[in-house]
Amino acid sequence: MLPAFGTGGDIWIKRDDLNAPGCGGNKVRALEFLLGSVRRGDAVVTVGGAGSTHVLSTAIHAARMGATTTALRWTHDMNPVADLVASRIATASPRSRVGRSAVVAMATAQLRARMTSEHYIPLGGSSPVGVLGHVNSGLELAAQIAAGDLPMPDQIVLPLGSGGTAAGLALGLEIAGLRIDVVGARVGPRLFVHRRRVLNLARKTAKLIGRITGEHLPDVDPRRFRIAHQVYGGAYGRPLQAATEASAMLQGAAGIRLDGTYSAKAFAAALDEARTAQGTTLFWLTFDSRCLTN
């Protein structure tokens, strides 16, 4: 449980940054499945922004498996942590290169995967296979609540980019029968970051699980998912003053470092929720600062 920070409701934190040794965070949950077929000596290709934590996490964990990673990236607004991530990517993935167009990067990566034996890891790991890892996170949370590790949250706040984490978490909670609101703090433009994408990802993942298990899974209740638009900041990666201040508060109170692209904006949204919503707010920490040094 975190200090109240002047809010009316309780704020708890899910330390999903510590879900793996050395470099954890939400991306690891998707990579558990997306890198499942990778073997020593294989090559991986993925995409993301210049300061993408997904790209960094992919490169680090693919290397642990003896594989190399080529990352096709694009320029965007940067912040101090994004600059550090970009520098770390240059070391972890020497084959990485940065262009100006996200569309060109994604098309090139997919073409490479079709023309070669490289394993393609989609943007943010957000495919039905990758989302399976986040379904597990929802079931894990349900088990922690049942064990009394934390009270039942009324809402969970997490960053919303490519949508896989929110989709899987919402589906996992639905499977567990928990009526908890999932609030995505939007960090990208509305054209690409919206409710329809998240709900479609959840629906496709439920169908994938159904094909594997033979069971019919419920769709995510759209009323249980909403988006906090106020923390976007105008561009992906662009620092937001409220997020910078919220990040400083958390680091001062708990020694936890956030990044300006995702987690700081989500924590600012969590504070907003705790000020305006009733009950308990759970902040889902997706960024592991250890990835910058380990």
Residues 193 and 89 in one domain: no
Q: Is residue 65 part of a domain?
A: yes
Residues 183 and 95 in one domain: no
pLDDT tens, 235-273?
Answer: 999 999 999 999 999 999 999 999 999 999 999 999 999
CA-based Rg of the chain, rounded to a whole angstrom?
Answer: 18
Residues 65 and 91 in one domain: yes
pLDDT, residue 277, reads 82
Residues 152 and 102 in one domain: no
- Domain end among 95, 125, 155: 125
Residues 121 and 131 in one domain: no
The number of domains in the chain is 2
Q: Is residue 167 part of a domain?
A: yes
pLDDT, residue 231, reads 98
Residues 156 and 100 in one domain: no
Residues 191 and 74 in one domain: no
pLDDT tens, 143-173?
Answer: 999 999 999 999 999 999 999 999 999 999 9
How many Å apart are CA 238 and CA 236, to the nearest integer?
6
Indicate the DSSP class of residue 40. Answer: T
- Amino acid, res. 16: D
Q: Which residue has the higher pLDDT, 219 or 278?
A: 219
Calculate mean pLDDT across residues 118-136: 97
Residues 145 and 212 in one domain: yes
How many Å apart are CA 49 and CA 78, to the nearest integer?
10
- Domain end among 125, 144, 174: 125
Residues 136 and 116 in one domain: no
Q: Is residue 75 part of a domain?
A: yes
Residue 92 C-alpha from the chain's centroid: 20
Q: Is residue 1 part of a domain?
A: no
Q: Is residue 133 part of a domain?
A: yes
Q: Is residue 3 part of a domain?
A: no
Q: Is residue 274 part of a domain?
A: yes
Q: Is residue 62 part of a domain?
A: yes
pLDDT, residue 233, reads 95
Residues 216 and 287 in one domain: yes
Indicate the DSSP class of residue 151. Answer: P
pLDDT, the chain, mean: 95
Calculate mean pLDDT across residues 208-226: 95
Q: Report the CATH number that the domain containing residue 97 is assigned in CATH.
A: 3.40.50.1100
Q: Which domain holds residue 278?
A: 10-22+127-292
Calculate mean pLDDT across residues 172-200: 97
Residues 159 and 223 in one domain: yes
- Domain end among 125, 151, 183: 125
Q: Which residues are catalytic?
A: 52
What are residue 182's phi and psi, to 5 degrees? -105, 125
Residues 109 and 137 in one domain: no
C-beta neighbour count of 63 within 10 angstroms: 14
Calculate mean pLDDT across residues 94-106: 92
Confidence bin at 8 (pLDDT 50/70/90): confident
Query: Residue holding tokens 């009394």?
Result: 148
Instruction: Give 83: exposed, middle or buried? Use CB within 10 Å, 0-12, 13-18, 19+.
Output: middle
